[in-house]
Amino acid sequence: MRMLLARILMCAAASLIGSRAIPPSTVLIGDSITAAMPSGLCRGALNYGRPSATTRDLLKLTDAVLAARPQTIVIMAGVNDVAAGITSDETAANIEALRLLAPRSIVLAVLPVTKDYPRPGYNPAIDRINERLPDAVRLDIPARHYLGDGIHLRPAAYLVWRDRLRELGVCHR
């Protein structure tokens, strides 16, 4: 009986440690593309992806990200800034501000939209943002890994994303 009770207590303690006491090693922050990343793909990461979020919106999450005390922040944002008419200079400045929220930051380049995306002019605007983020990590996502809307991603795209983050020492197995 004592052994069973000891095991139950150890499991309960491990559960508490896993869920509260140890800060996440990584915070993912971004828009709906980030929000849709399946939770099991980047173990130990806290996902602060927010559908329709602009970089202005993400700056409002600063306190929550700081409270999580991550070692690394991964930022994937900017495409909604194009829709909102936010300049590429402001988008880049907002992303740079987000970079300061953790000891290590990884900025992912804003993904292009495919020919299926119904609004013209997005890719030139995305290119202007990416030009202002020279250290951004590029993800090579094939068009077939996008959903039919031309902007959101299929599950296979998140495997490409995860594998690239693993190369950078994030999203451990």
What are the residue boundaries of the structural domains of the chain, listed by start?
24-167
Q: Which residues of 58-92 are buried (b: 16+ CB within 10 A; e: fewer)?
A: bbebeeebeebebebbbbbbbbbbbeeebebeebb
Walk along the chain (173 residues) and give the pLDDT tens digit of each residue. Answer: 444 333 433 444 444 344 444 567 999 999 999 999 998 898 889 999 999 999 999 999 999 999 999 999 999 999 999 999 999 999 999 999 999 999 999 999 999 999 999 888 999 999 999 999 999 999 999 999 999 999 999 999 999 999 999 999 998 76
Quote the pTM value: 0.84
Identify the architecture of domain 24-167 in CATH: 3-Layer(aba) Sandwich (3.40)
